[in-house]
Structure 1
């Protein structure tokens, strides 16, 4: 008789929703079983984007960015994802308006209709305005000096693009566009999974100064270092 203990159960990934656009395939999966809790996972063209199991990096981006601006009344979040950066922005009582720019209409729909269960509650906040557009186009059309803070979280940084076209978001022309929509004292904060010297240099040219801030996080029993790249607009005299 075999008295050995059974091995751990492998998690099962069940597809919850799928959409196609000109940028490719977007898939929402649910992870069930195994040793961890049930969670949702978002993938674009087969590449892992984020999940609901580990959200500390998305929250850290917002928390660190909000600390850089004295009065972040109007905030732009570039990239909706599963809503955790937006959630942390809305937790700050100083924020009066949060514009979330997301290029994938299907993802916005999943948040609105409850396919992503926590989505409807987040989007019900009256301060939220969701724009379905390319963030480069949306900011190019924005009025100058409209926002206090722009958070860019559409990729894992310039070295880990979800779509090749996003490379333009980390170059000087777009960064100058962001600078124009910021009020005095405002800031752009870009999240990156690795050091990005070219991004820092482009920010320095566009803003007249830049800084890269290492950000250490603990992810599932391992230490990781991410980077926040910051460009600031001088405050009022």
Structure 2
């Protein structure tokens, strides 16, 4: 057990990724509009981030908005974009105080200029932090990420800076949005759905998965701790056989 993190579970995950699902259903169950649930979900993020150091979690990646979420109503999409802007403006000081380094992954082309500026500013403001690395997947899709990575790789091959015969499974990750991050050890999806929804397709090849019934606004630091302890009991062989 870590001396610096006395409550960290033995053998717990270093990198946890979360598909934060169930905000809309949580709000509907209370007779409120879906955006009410998204605001509740945003507040839950702070509790989870604050819990990470004591649980030995160095990296936390959260799925905030997918490339497929543009299919939602214009009202909901606009509300979510406004929520992202407010979250960044409201949480910057707290993230700094907690030593959290923030990164964004995903394609920024469809995002509005003000949001992009806020994202850039938050990344710059927290660049020197190292206690927790929070990665926010915004307008992110796993297939889209791999396609963009392959495009960048192809440009380097065409430019003669990369030998195509040397391209292997160690090469492509250097072109992914997550190239500076370790692969996730544990992926959690809330709300009872048992699918990965195009999230970290390459990176989670050997991740452990937990599909739980809890709706995201009801997710707690205690439940995260329980899942981390469960992870620590698993036999991680990565294709090998027990010794």
TM-score range, shorter chain: 0.3 to 0.5
Report the TM-score, using the length of structure 2 for normalisation: 0.34
Report the TM-score, using the length of structure 1 for normalisation: 0.34
Report the structure, 1 or 2, having the larger helix content.
2
Report the structure, 1 or 2, having the larger strand content.
1
- Greater relative contact order structure (CA < 8 Å, 6+ sep): 2
